[in-house]
Structure 1
Amino acid sequence: MAAATPRELLLPRRRRANLTPWLFIAPGLILFGLFILYPIVQALQMSLYDWNILRGAASDFIGLDNYARAVQDDRFWLSLANSGIYMLFTVPPQIVFGLAVAMLLRSKAPVQPLFRVLYYLPVVTSWVVVSLLFKYLFADQGLVNWALSDILPLTDGTTSWLSNRWTAMIAICALGVWKGIGWSMMIFLAALQGVPQSLEEAAALDGANWWQRFRVVTIPAIWPAMLFVVVMLVIGGFNVFTSVLLMTAGGPGGQTEVVLTFMYQQAFSNLDFGYGAAIAVLLTVIVFIFSVVQLRVFRDRTDEESR
């Protein structure tokens, strides 16, 4: 029997080496398949059926009827508009205030870790807790009305914040901004650590003021972080759910309903899971389109600055 060559001896070792990474990522892949990929496929399937949850199976295949129903549903468009309003009025303030706070906390003063923790504390606080807190603050006899009437005499203290679409959206957006500033701050703070100090010093020696240094040196250096923050905040804005559900429950009369609360009502209150799944798919497509557009815009800006 011929002796094995060195190449033949190396083959099992190479196979083991190639198999090792897959063994490490296999648990993650299994969890991704069970809890992410399978629900997505199941939602796509359910959206094409008149799903009968009582039987545990689809009763009738109706194709794209659920999607056509959503396009013709005024309540769906209202919920989508409210989601867009929430996104428009929460994303820019979170970026501006988050970056401003990160710039202020950039120094290495002894008290800076304490301020960083204080600003980040709302981020790790439960959405349920802060939603109920803001519901109390904006109640008819809440602290906001008291402050606006007694401390700052701007109103008569009788504003019913959560009983009107626009004032309720103000309260919901205020919660979103307050809770999200700390997250944006941490991302920008990490990005600011990588800004070359030599470039800022050179710009200062050339006579650039703080705004010119910020615009020409700081912003280009943190542009990738800016892209990440914007994309994630837009996705989060369209996926607002808990605060709306607990503060207004979509009221009054569905005027503050967002896409996810509308989907939740259709699926779990009306047991219309096929229609709810179609709404979820439509929201996914909308968020995907927004993300692609943002990536394209930021990429074009990066290409222009690199020339």
Structure 2
Amino acid sequence: MRKKDGAAGYLFFIPGFLFFSLFILYPLIRNFVYSFYDFRLTDLSQLTFIGFDNYKNVFQDQVFWTSLKNIIIYGLISVPGQMILGFFVAYALQKNRFGTKTFRVLYFLPVITSWVVASLIFKFVFTDQGFLNYFIMEKLHLTNNTISWLSEPSKAMLVIGFLGIWKGVGWVMVIYMAALQGVPQEQYEAASLDGCNTLQRIWYITLPSIRSTTFFIQMMLIIGAFNVFTSIYLITNGGPLHQTEVMLTWMYQKAFTEYDLGYASALSYVFAIIIACLTLIQFRLNKQE
């Protein structure tokens, strides 16, 4: 009987393992091998081993450092914004009062909205001839000149950061709402009897009780910030002059515009190592706490 159960287990395991090996493990290994070669799509017959030259070129590439800086800026804008707004929305909507279900749906709608659609809407709103400039100039009469929201790197990263916040608040809200259900109500009642106000109850009871959830959300949002691509690609395409470039858009351009797959492969592994190091640091800090 045990042999039959073991055979049945292998039958369930093998399809998933084959899928993982074929579509995830094999491309990862192949990509790692390509990172040590001068491999270009324009000439597939030429595959020259160059050792660590691609990795050296990555760290000597000014656009790489610009893209890393832009990811940090995007993360500093979007991650705290999503966490803070998501928490307070979850705290306000955690109880089943009249209208809360409607607001939950409204806050979650951006999460299921396509990144392509959301990016194009934001581009329409913030372009030089877009809705926001029209509203500021024609309705509010605050200025006679158009504001270059997407042409100036600092403003463009701010716009893309706001898009990330708008898209992510609903997801953070759902995770926090699930965590808030586990906070003992007796602690709130005892704090109320001691004269604690709402902010004190949040600071001394709610936040310590959901610390592990906060860590999970923070880790996922940081990884998500490093994976930003669609909004940058559709709104600014890395411009002007690569000043809004991020790692994934630069990797995409090197691979599918300049056809330098060897460099793109090396860049992808540098990118993966950075994310792994950040995740490890977060785990260590959370463990110490």
Answer whether TM exceeds 0.5 for this pair: yes
Larger RCO (alpha carbons 8 Å, 6+ apart): 2
Superposed structure 1 runs of 4+ greater than 6 Å apart: none
SS class of match (1:173) = helix
Cα separation, partners in 2 of 1:151 and 1:265, compared to 1, 3 Å = same
Pick the aligned partner of 1:81 from 69, 91, 98: 69
Partner of residue 5, structure 1: none
Q: Distance in 1 between matches of 2:235 and 2:58?
A: 25
Question: Is 1:208 paired with 2:196?
Answer: yes
SS class of match (1:161) = coil
SS class of match (1:184) = helix
Q: Which runs of 5+ in 2 are unaligned?
A: none
Which amino acid counterpart does residue 47 of structure 1 have in structure 2?
A: S
Length-normalised TM-score, structure 1: 0.89
After superposition, the C-alpha distances for 1:190-246 in whole angstroms (9 at most, x for unaligned) are 111111112221222222222221122111221111111100100010111000000
Query: Following TM superposition, by how much is the alpha carbon of 1:139 offset from its aligned partner in structure 2, in angstroms?
Result: 0.9
RMSD, aligned α-carbons: 1.7
Pick the aligned partner of 2:132 from 141, 144, 157: 144
After superposition, the C-alpha distances for 1:2-32 in whole angstroms (9 at most, x for unaligned) are xxxxxxxxxxx11223344443343333322
Which amino acid counterpart does residue 214 of structure 2 have in structure 1?
A: M
Partner of residue 304, structure 1: none
Larger Rg: 1
Give the percent of matched residue pairs that are identical in Structure 1 and Structure 2: 46
Which stretch of the first structure deviates more once superposed, 13-22 or 161-170? 13-22
Question: Is 1:168 paired with 2:170?
Answer: no
SS class of match (1:158) = coil
Q: Which runs of 5+ in 1 are unaligned?
A: 1-12, 302-307
Which stretch of the first structure deviates more once superposed, 85-94 or 28-37? 28-37
Q: Indicate if the aligned counterparts of 1:120 and 1:183 stay in contact, CA closer than 8 A.
A: yes
Q: Distance in 1 between matches of 2:220 and 2:253?
A: 25
Partner of residue 217, structure 2: 229
Partner of residue 22, structure 2: 34
After superposition, the C-alpha distances for 1:266-288 in whole angstroms (9 at most, x for unaligned) are 00000000000111110100011
Cα separation, partners in 2 of 1:32 and 1:205, compared to 1, 3 Å = farther
Pick the aligned partner of 2:165 from 173, 177, 199: 177
Query: Following TM superposition, by how much is the alpha carbon of 1:151 offset from its aligned partner in structure 2, in angstroms?
Result: 4.6
Pick the aligned partner of 1:282 from 249, 257, 270: 270
Question: Is 1:119 paired with 2:104?
Answer: no
Aligned pairs, how many?
A: 289
Q: Distance in 2 between matches of 1:57 and 1:251?
A: 33
